[in-house]
C-alpha cells in the first residue's frame, strides 16, 4: 500500500473520530487535523474536489474553535464577576407609573420583567414593599405556563424600566455574562422565598406554642 493511500485512510479515521466527539472543542480540533490530512492527500493524489472541500472547512473550523475559546473565557469571567443591571439598561424601555396602577396580577401571563428606578411598589400577596433598584418579574420567565405568582402594584408615583421576555431570552443565549447574572438573580429570589417561608413557619409555631 502506497504511503499516500495510507494518508487518505488516516484522514478517514480522523473524520470518523470527529463525528464521534461529544464535546465541541475536541470535535473542532479533530476536524482541523482531518482537514489538514485531506488537504495534503488532495494535493498529492491529486483529488481536487476533496482539496477544495477541506480547504474551505479548515478556516471555518479554525474560526469556530476561536469563537468557542473566546466564549469559554467570557463564561469564566462572568462566573467570577460581581454583576449588576447597569449594562442591561440600554436594552430596556422606560415607563412612568401612577399610584394604584397594577403592573401585573397573580395568574396573568408573564411577558416582561421590570427594574424599578423611582417610586414605591408592593407585591400584594406577601405584603412586601419594593423600592428602587429592584428587579421584578424574572421568575415568570420560568414559571409553569409563564403565569405570574404575585400581584405587582405601584403605591407611589415613579418610573421603571421594562424588557420583554423575547429580548431576555435572546440576551441569555447570546451573552454569557447575562446568563450567569440571570441564574444568580433567580437563585437569590428563590433563597429569599425560602427564608420568608421559614420565618412564617417559625412565627406560626411560636403562635401555636403560646
Consecutive sets of 10 residues in the chain, 210 residues long: mean pLDDT of each?
A: 86 92 88 95 90 95 88 64 65 93 93 92 91 86 82 95 85 70 75 79 76
Residues 30 and 126 both lie in one domain: no
pLDDT at residue 41, rounded to an integer: 93
Long-range contacts of 163-169 (CB under 8 A, 24+ apart): 163/88, 163/91, 163/92, 163/93, 163/112, 163/113, 163/115, 164/111, 164/112, 165/110, 165/111, 165/112, 165/113, 165/140, 165/141, 167/91, 168/113, 168/138, 168/141, 169/141
Distance CA 114, CA 186 (A): 14
Domain identity same for 64 and 97? no
Instruction: Quote the number of domains for the chain.
Output: 2
Helix boundaries (H) for the chain? 3-20, 24-44, 48-79, 165-174, 176-209
The residues facing 156 across adjacent strands are: 120
Q: Do 27 and 91 have their domain in common?
A: no
Q: What is the pLDDT of residue 177?
A: 64
pLDDT score at 203: 78
Range of the structural domain that residue 148 is part of: 86-202
In whole angstroms, what separates CA 51 from the centre of its chain? 39
At 79 the pLDDT is: 56
Residue 208 domain-assigned? no
Q: Where is the domain boundary, 31, 61, 79?
A: 79
Residues 104 and 150 in one domain: yes
Q: Please tell me whether residues 147 and 198 are part of one structural domain.
A: yes
Write b or e for each residue in 73-86: b if 16 or more Cβ atoms lie within 10 A of its Cβ, otherwise e: eeeeebeeeebeee
* 154 shares its domain with 52: no
Asked if the peptide bond before residue 46 counts as cis, ω within 30 degrees of 0, the response is yes
Residues 124 and 187 in one domain: yes
pLDDT at residue 84, as a whole number: 59
Amino acid at each position: 500500500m502506497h504511503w499516500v493511500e495510507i494518508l487518505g485512510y488516516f484522514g478517514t479515521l480522523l473524520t470518523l473520530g470527529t463525528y464521534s466527539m461529544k464535546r465541541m472543542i475536541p470535535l473542532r480540533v479533530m476536524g482541523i487535523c482531518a482537514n489538514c490530512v485531506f488537504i495534503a492527500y488532495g494535493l498529492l493524489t491529486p483529488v481536487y474536489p476533496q482539496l477544495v472541500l477541506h480547504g474551505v472547512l479548515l478556516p471555518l473550523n479554525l474560526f469556530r474553535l476561536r469563537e468557542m475559546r473566546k466564549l469559554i473565557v467570557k463564561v469564566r469571567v462572568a462566573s467570577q464577576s460581581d454583576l449588576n443591571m447597569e449594562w442591561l439598561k440600554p436594552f430596556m424601555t422606560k415607563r412612568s407609573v401612577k399610584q394604584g396602577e397594577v403592573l401585573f396580577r397573580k395568574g396573568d401571563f408573564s411577558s416582561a420583567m421590570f427594574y424599578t428606578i423611582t417610586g414605591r411598589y408592593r407585591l400584594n400577596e406577601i405584603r412586601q414593599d419594593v423600592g428602587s433598584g429592584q428587579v421584578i418579574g424574572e421568575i415568570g420567565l420560568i414559571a409553569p405556563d409563564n403565569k405570574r405568582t404575585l400581584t405587582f402594584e405601584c403605591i407611589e408615583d415613579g418610573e421603571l424600566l421594562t424588557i420583554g421576555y423575547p429580548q431576555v431570552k435572546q440576551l441569555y443565549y447570546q451573552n454569557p455574562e447575562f446568563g450567569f447574572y440571570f441564574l444568580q438573580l433567580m437563585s437569590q429570589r428563590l433563597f429569599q422565598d425560602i427564608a420568608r417561608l421559614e420565618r412564617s413557619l417559625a412565627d406560626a409555631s411560636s403562635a401555636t406554642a403560646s
